[in-house]
Amino acid sequence: MAVPPEFIEDLRQRVPLSDIIGKRVKLTRKGNRFSGLCPFHSEKTPSFSVVDDQGFYHCFGCGAHGDAISFLRETDGLDFMEAVERLASMAGLTVPRSAPEDPQRTRQRKAALDILEETTKYFQAGLKRDDGRVAARYLHGRGLDAGAVGSYRLGYAPRGGLRAALAARGFSDEDMLAAGVVRRSDRDGELFDYFRDRVMFPIEDRQGRVIAFGARALGDAQPKYLNSGEGPTFSKKSVLYGWVQAREGLRRKLPLLVAEGYMDVIAIQQSGVATAVAPLGTALTEEQITHLWKLHDEPVLCFDGDAAGQRAQKRALERLLPLLQPGKSVRLAMLPEGQDPDDLLQKEGGDGLLKVINTASSLIDSLWTSFAAEHDLRQPEQRAEFWQAVRGQVKQIGHNQVRTAFADEIEARIAAMRSAGRGQGRAGMAGALRPRVKRPAAGAIHRHRAVCAIILAHPALIPDLCETLIQIDSGDAGLESLKKAAIDAVIRDPDLDAAALRHHLDGLKLTDAIDVLEGDEMRARMPFNPATLNGEEAGRRLDELLRLVGGSSGLFSTSASLPR
């Protein structure tokens, strides 16, 4: 719906840009402009400038540039009209509409939002009443602190009383029905509270307004989970649970995870190592994927490590591919079998979750391995079917340049498989074509550790050996997290030396994995000290280690003694 340009300009004039940005960034006046730390990238020296007279901001560090509307869109994940409405609310204006709206529909939507807000407060207060003690104990038993309960506005729906409380506030039965907080009995036509004796999870829109509820039964009541129905405020396919809280986490530069349930989202956020959202009981929809990319360019999708999780991952891949855009993708993480993120956090804490995040696969790696796993790649007809299947998936990508880039990568991998078959015979082909599997931690683990010890001491070796290093897998989650983090860091900054790389890895809470490499056991097994080797000698020893663990690069050769 179009908004007159003169109204947009009036908004920009009425609300100083520094007032809007000053709520998020500490600004210091410098003449006719303001200066502060950029909210769009990490920095220690202010390079972010706000000019009220001309109504724009600019960062001389990352190049971010825009006006009040673009700032609200970027920081709050709003679309254009939502940003205009937010700005108009600040200015005390009503957005003019070029097309008439149904007055009754507008009134009903506003009444529903008011009812849902009052209902949320009623449920929050319910946790403190005597009949809400069981719900409060349940939340405490799940490890949620008062901060998490308050941030997500969790509550308790008693067995009755909500309808009367809302009526006392002047709301009609008709509006309560439209808001979905009461229902009419099929048996006798009487109205009753829809949510009863349940732990309540308010569902908010991107502006923080409650638009629906999720509810978990206490005891054996069925269904275990109950959600609001579709209504004037709520369309399940377009909403992500935890959006507002995730946005705050992303301002702290935390990674974004997509989990499956309310408790997973809250537990991840509470851990402090990541932030999270969740679809509402369904696979990710196209609208939700688009909303995700407004929050983060590469969120991590978390799946249970069982057969159902594998199927969910494949469905997600097929849904994502047509929507890919340059710079917009996902990574995919598989959790230990039988565990969800909440289980993992309770068992292993934040470090366990970080390992899962750091070992998450790229979208193209996940596409390749998930389809490869369905074929016996030792058989030529199976290889051909696999190639056909994965090429078919790439054809689903809508954006021409992204589709071409994926196709180039897939064809390069297929060519490598063919080359492996010609050069190594049937046995070599079988080894080259099988999807990578986790190897048990046995004697070979010490050679994998030696590989990591050398690349940490000589980061300059990583770029030339990147592909080989990625292909080998020690089967040790901590070691793989460390290796991947080192590769990612050097790819981003090829000039990192050993000291700078170590400092970066310490900041990712990978100290325990590094300590293993520097411990007494490794010193006893390693006949050399990686830090004292020159670059050429380190390269030769690294190549021999890679050959022994199945991934020689061929860049060097050596017969040097190696870890036992």
pLDDT at 552: 47
Question: Could you tell me which residues are beta bridge partners of residue 277?
Answer: 258
Q: What is the DSSP string of 487-502?
A: HHHHHH-TT--HHHHH
| 406 found inside a domain | yes
Question: How far is the C-alpha of 500 from the C-alpha of 492, rounded, in Å?
Answer: 13
pLDDT at 5: 72
Query: Tens digits of per-residue pLDDT, 300-346?
Result: 998 776 677 777 777 888 889 999 988 899 999 988 877 888 889 99
107 and 230 co-located in one domain: yes
For the purposes of burial, counting CB atoms within 10 Å of the CB of 160, is it exposed (0-12), middle (13-18) or buried (19 or more)?
Answer: exposed
Q: What is the CATH number of the domain that holds 299?
A: 3.40.1360.10
Q: Which domain holds residue 23?
A: 5-91
DSSP-derived 3-state class of residue 321: helix
Sign of CA dihedral 219, 225, 228, 230: negative
| 512 found inside a domain | yes
Q: Which two tokens stand for residue 533?
A: 């080797």
CA-CA-CA-CA dihedral for 324, 40, 295, 401, to nearest 10: 0
The last residue of one of the domains, among 384, 399, 433, is 433
Question: How far is the C-alpha of 478 from the C-alpha of 511, rounded, in Å?
Answer: 10
Q: Are 176 and 182 in contact (CB under 8 A)?
A: yes
Question: How far is the C-alpha of 200 from the C-alpha of 123, rounded, in Å?
Answer: 7
Strands 191-193 and 198-204: unpaired
Question: Could you tell me which residues are beta bridge partners of residue 217?
Answer: 198
Q: Are 305 and 339 in contact (CB under 8 A)?
A: yes
Question: How far is the C-alpha of 95 from the C-alpha of 80, rounded, in Å?
Answer: 13
The last residue of one of the domains, among 344, 368, 392, is 368
Q: What is the CATH number of the domain that holds 49?
A: 3.90.580.10
176 and 249 co-located in one domain: no
112 and 226 co-located in one domain: yes
Q: Are 369 and 375 in contact (CB under 8 A)?
A: no
Question: Euclidean distance between the first and final Cα of the chain, in Å?
Answer: 70
List b or e across 494-515, with b for residues whose CB sees 16 or more CB atoms inside 10 angstroms. eebeeeebbebbeebebeebbe
272 and 185 co-located in one domain: no
Is this structure's pTM higher than 0.85?
Answer: no
Helix (H) or strand (E) holding 509: none
For residue 224, which amino acid is it? K
| 553 found inside a domain | no
pLDDT at 519: 77
pLDDT at 16: 86
Sign of CA dihedral 113, 115, 116, 121: positive
| 96 found inside a domain | no
Number of domains in the chain: 5
65 and 118 co-located in one domain: no
Strands 182-184 and 155-157: unpaired
54 and 144 co-located in one domain: no
Q: What is the CATH number of the domain that holds 197?
A: 3.90.980.10
Sign of CA dihedral 248, 485, 354, 372: positive
Question: How far is the C-alpha of 136 from the C-alpha of 144, rounded, in Å?
Answer: 10
The last residue of one of the domains, among 317, 342, 368, is 368
Question: Could you tell me which residues are beta bridge partners of residue 380?
Answer: none
Please list the ranges in the chain whose pLDDT falls under 70: 1-2, 97-102, 282, 305-306, 421-443, 509, 550-564
| 557 found inside a domain | no
226 and 280 co-located in one domain: no
pLDDT at 267: 95
Name which of 141, 125, 118 is nearest 263 in CA terms.
Answer: 141
Question: How far is the C-alpha of 92 from the C-alpha of 98, rounded, in Å?
Answer: 19
Question: How far is the C-alpha of 442 from the C-alpha of 446, rounded, in Å?
Answer: 8
Q: Are 354 and 509 in contact (CB under 8 A)?
A: yes
113 and 82 co-located in one domain: no
Name which of 73, 77, 79, 167 is nearest 118 in CA terms.
Answer: 167
Question: How far is the C-alpha of 310 from the C-alpha of 303, rounded, in Å?
Answer: 7
DSSP-derived 3-state class of residue 254: coil
Question: How far is the C-alpha of 170 from the C-alpha of 436, rounded, in Å?
Answer: 63
| 440 found inside a domain | no
For residue 21, which amino acid is it? I
pLDDT at 520: 72
151 and 117 co-located in one domain: yes
302 and 333 co-located in one domain: yes
Q: Are 240 and 262 in contact (CB under 8 A)?
A: no
| 176 found inside a domain | yes
> What secondary structure letter does DSSP report for 301?
E
380 and 333 co-located in one domain: no
